[in-house]
Structure 1
Amino acid sequence: MTKLVVKDNALIQASYTLDTVEQRLVLLAISEARETGRGITENSLLEVHASSYINTFNVEKHTAYTVLRDASKSLFDRYVTYHDVNPKTGKDRSFHCRWVDKIGYEPQSGTVFLRFTQDIVPLITRLEENFTKYELEQVSRLTSSYAIRLYELLIQWRSVGKTPVFDIAIFRQQLGVEPEQYKTMSNFKTYVLDFALNQVNELTDITAKYEQHKKGRSISGFSFSFKQKKEQKKTIATKQSNAQALCLKMTNKQRHLFASKLSRLPEMSNYSRGTEDYDEFAVRIVEMLTDPKIFETLLPNLQKVGFKAA
Structure 2
Amino acid sequence: MSNEAREIYKHEEITRSNTLISAKYKSTLTENKIMVLALKRAKRDEFGRPTITFTTSEIKKVMGRDDGSFYTQLKSVAKAMTGRTMFIEDKEQHSFKFINIIHTAEFENGKFTVNFTPEMNNYLDDLKSNFTTMNMGILVDFTSNYAYRIYELLKTQAYRVDKDNTPLQIDYNLSELKLAIGCVNTQEERVQKELDRPNPDFDYIVNSVAKEKHFDKWYDFRVNVLDVAKRQINEKSDLEIDYEPIRSGRGGKVVGITFFIKKNVNYNEIEAKTEKENEILLKNGNSVVDSAKRPDDYNERFEEIMDYIDVRVSSKDLKAFLKAADYDVERVKKAYDLSKKQKEIKNFVGWMKKAIEEGYSEDVIHVIDGSEENAKKADEILAEYEREKATGSLAERTWNRIKKKEEYQEFLQYIADQGMTEKTLESIYIPKERMELYQSWIAENK
1:202 is aligned to: 235
Q: Cα offset for 1:9?
A: 0.6
Query: What does 1:238-253 correspond to in 2, within 5 Å?
Result: none
Shift of 1:164: 2.5
Match of 2:98 in 1: 96
One-letter identity of the residue aligned with 1:195:
V
Indicate if the aligned counterparts of 2:82 and 2:102 stay in contact, CA closer than 8 A. Answer: yes
Tell me, yes or no, if the aligned pair for 2:244 and 2:258 is still in contact at 8 Å.
yes
Give the secondary structure class of the aligned counterpart of 1:151.
Answer: helix
- Aligned length in residues: 229
Give the share of equivalent positions with the same residue, in percent: 21
- Aligned mates of 1:64, 1:232 — CA distance in 2: 32
Give the corresponding residue for 1:252.
none
What residue in structure 1 maps to residue 170 of structure 2?
164
Task: Specify the alignment match of 2:362 in structure 1.
Answer: none
SS of equivalent residue, structure 2 residue 124: helix
Report what 2:81 is aligned to.
Answer: 75
Determine if contact 1:4/1:135 at 8 Å carries over to the other structure.
Answer: yes
Q: Distance in 2 between matches of 1:13 and 1:30?
A: 16
Q: Helix, strand or coil for the counterpart of 1:224?
A: strand
1:196 and 1:156 map into 2 onto residues whose CA distance is 16
Match of 2:22 among 5, 8, 13: 13
**Cα deviations by residue, 1:247-277 (Å, 9 ceiling, x for unpaired):** xxxxxxxxxxxxxxxxxxxxxxxxxxxxxxx
Deviation at 1:114, TM superposition (A): 1.4
Give me the whole-angstrom Cα distance separating, in 2, the residues matched to 1:206 and 1:53: 27
Report SS of the residue matched to 1:115: strand
Secondary structure of 1:159's match?
helix
Q: What is the CA–CA distance in structure 1 between the aligned matches of 2:248 and 2:95, rounded to whole Å?
A: 26
Q: 1:8 to 1:14 in 2, by over 3 A?
A: same
Paired letter, 2:107: Y
Please give the alpha-carbon distance, in whole angstroms, between the structure 2 residues aligned to 1:125 and 1:26.
16
Alignment of 1:7-86 (within 5 A): 7-33=16-42, 38=43, 42-56=48-62, 58-60=64-66, 62=68, 64-84=70-90
The worse-fitting range, judged by mean Cα deviation, of 222-231 and 61-70 is 61-70
Q: Residue 209 and residue 186 in structure 1: after superposition, are their counterparts in 2 closer, same or farther (change >3 A)?
A: same
* Cα 1:6–1:62 shift into 2, 3 Å: farther
State whether residues 34 and 62 of structure 2, in contact with CA within 8 Å, keep that contact through their aligned partners in structure 1.
Answer: no
Which whole-Å deviations, capped at 9, do the CAs of 1:99-131 have from their partners, x for residues lacking one? Answer: 11122112x42x221122233331233422310
Please state how far the C-alpha of 1:65 moved relative to its aligned partner.
Answer: 4.4
Residue 67 (structure 1) shift: 3.0
Secondary structure (helix, strand or coil) at the match of 1:134 reads: strand
Query: Which whole-Å CA distance do the structure 2 matches of 1:31 and 1:91 have between them?
Result: 28
Q: 8 Å contact 2:173–2:256 — kept in the other structure? A: yes
Which residue identity lines up with residue 153 of structure 1 in the other structure?
Answer: L
Aligned mates of 2:257, 2:118 — CA distance in 1: 33
* Maintained 8 Å contact 1:21/1:67: no
Q: CA deviation at 1:210?
A: 1.0
Structure 1 unaligned segments of length 5 or more: list them.
Answer: 240-310
1:153 is displaced (CA, Å) by 0.5
Tell me: CA distance 1:84–1:227, structure 2 relative to 1, closer, same or farther (3 Å). closer
Could you say what the CA RMSD is over the residues aligned between the two structures, in angstroms?
2.8
**Counterpart residue type for residue 104 of structure 1:** E
Post-superposition offset of 1:159:
1.8
Do the aligned partners of 2:82 and 2:104 also contact (CA within 8 Å) in 1?
Answer: yes
- The aligned counterpart of 1:268 is none
Which has the larger Rg?
2
8 Å CA contact retained: 1:72, 1:112? no
Query: What's the TM-score, normalizing by structure 1?
Result: 0.65
**Matched AA of 1:83:** E
CA contact under 8 A between 2:149 and 2:181: conserved in structure 1? yes
Q: Secondary structure at the match of 1:45?
A: strand
Counterpart of 1:185?
A: 218
Letter in 2 for 1:45: T
The more displaced of 117-126 and 144-153 is 117-126
Deviation per CA, 1:85-112, whole angstroms, max 9, x where unpaired? 6xxxx75132112111122112x42x22
CA displacement at 1:63 relative to structure 2:
5.4
| Mapped contact 1:68–1:112 kept (Cα < 8 A) | no
Post-superposition shift, 1:135? Answer: 1.1
Unaligned runs of 5+ in 2: 1-8, 162-167, 185-209, 275-446
Query: Is contact 2:234–2:264 with CA below 8 Å preserved after alignment?
Result: no
Specify whether residues 232 and 115 from structure 1 end up closer, same or farther in structure 2 by C-alpha distance, changes over 3 A only: same
Partner in structure 2 of residue 226 of structure 1? 261
Distance in 1, Cα, partners of 2:260 & 2:69: 36
Contact 2:17–2:124, Cα closer than 8 Å, also in 1:
yes
* Larger fraction in strand: 1
Deviation of the 1:49 alpha carbon: 2.6
Q: State the secondary structure of the residue aligned to 2:115.
A: strand
State the alpha-carbon separation in 1 of the partners of residues 253 and 57 from structure 2. Answer: 47
User: TM-score under structure 2 normalisation?
Assistant: 0.47
Q: 1:192 to 1:231 in 2, by over 3 A?
A: closer
* CA apart distance, 1:230: 3.0
The 3-state SS of whatever aligns with 1:230 is: coil
Task: Report the equivalent of 2:119.
Answer: 119
